[in-house]
Structure 1
């Protein structure tokens, strides 16, 4: 059954680093999920955020490129967006997934309180079952809250049971491995 994808959002060189909350754990978990998805035949789809020409975070800029440890394999889809939600109509991803009959999206990446949040809300509104593995998204400290507080607020309070199912990492791995059977 190919009704599920692993969606890797905005894991770009300019923001995938030790400034993130729980960086090493997040990095290891995302890498594991990508490997398990590939081993199990679950499609891995990548999204990159383009802040516009001259921003330093646009097509052709070093910081725009996908973090080397998560690099897409040949043939894996990569979508570029200029809005927060990876599933906004302008990106084309929602139409692509709907056309393939995808029902479940395992969403990972950056940043928790921006593009991940927007994508989870949009996915919910579009009728996708949004699954969020623990410690597979992150963000930075801001003047309003610490990165850890932001992570916990969205993952442990706002999304779970409302807009998504926030699941333990072991459950996410098991879900991907079951697709192999």
Structure 2
């Protein structure tokens, strides 16, 4: 099992997100449990390119302090919605014998959805802990409706297994100590 922490970056990690406090709390629980269980954690950052305010060197680009990686955790950069857009990350994940991929991060309807579907297409068993992804209101739906659409209708029983944080931690316990580093 690998835990992917996607795009929890300073420029979009604030109280505009649906259930912001709950999102941070539940995501931290999952990250802390993965660390305690020696599960590989990989962070992914989105880079929109120079001059966008969301690129290498920009404050908004940095991973949010609340969930910052430890020094031994890998960080990959992507320039498209799916984390699989980074070829090195994609190759690393494909080389894993265990094809379970737990995904947390931002935003539900963009990079999380793209990564969930890309992982599914590549044969991964995708696990989404409830409350560990979020998004903003948009012109068509508020953040809660968007979150519920993906987590309760689009992904379950099709692209991903959506489980409680407690169930996700139990799944990690079945995988204790598999990280090589």
TM-score bracket, normalised by the shorter chain, equals over 0.9
Instruction: Give the number of aligned pairs.
Output: 177
2:76 to 70, 79, 82: 79
CA distance in 2, matches of 1:180, 1:96: 20
Deviation at 1:180, TM superposition (A): 2.8
CA contact (8 A) 1:48 1:78 kept: yes
Question: Is 1:179 equivalent to 2:175 in the alignment?
Answer: yes
**Equivalent residue number for residue 150 of structure 1:** 146
| Conserved 8 A contact 1:80-1:91 | no
* Preserved CA contact (<8 Å) 1:108 1:136: yes
Q: 1:37 aligns with which of 27, 34, 41?
A: 34
TM-score by length of structure 1 reads 0.94
**Residue 116 (str. 1) matches residue 101 (str. 2):** no
Alignment partner of 1:134 is 2:130? yes
Partner of 1:16: 13
Aligned twin of 2:66? 69
The Cα RMSD (Å) is: 1.1
Structure 1 portions without partners, runs of 5+: none
* Distance change in 2, residues 1:93/1:52 (3 Å): same
Bigger Cα displacement from structure 2, 69-78 vs 121-130: 69-78
